[in-house]
Amino acid sequence: MRTFFKERVDQKHFDRVKMVWKHGHDPSLVLFDTAGEEHSTINVENKTPEQLRDLLVGYGFTEQAPVESNADL
């Protein structure tokens, strides 16, 4: 899971997605509405990279992986 965020999210493969690491806290995905208000929080601790990708895509985030990349999920 950490690798997914380091390789995909931190490398800007998803627009409008930012990861903030907080030591001692379970990893959570916090979604905000268009007004900037917190909409929901999802615990992603036990998600596989494929589940994380599908979750982001399901919420409407577009993956923009580089063409030259053969990165596995």
DSSP output for 41-56: EEE-TT--HHHHHHHH
Predicted pLDDT at 17: 77
Instruction: Record the pTM.
Output: 0.66
Q: What is the pLDDT of residues 47-73, one digit of tens each?
A: 888 898 899 889 888 888 665 555 555
* Residue 4 CB neighbour total at 10 angstroms: 22
Predicted pLDDT at 40: 85
Mean pLDDT of 35-51: 86
Domain boundaries, the chain: 2-58
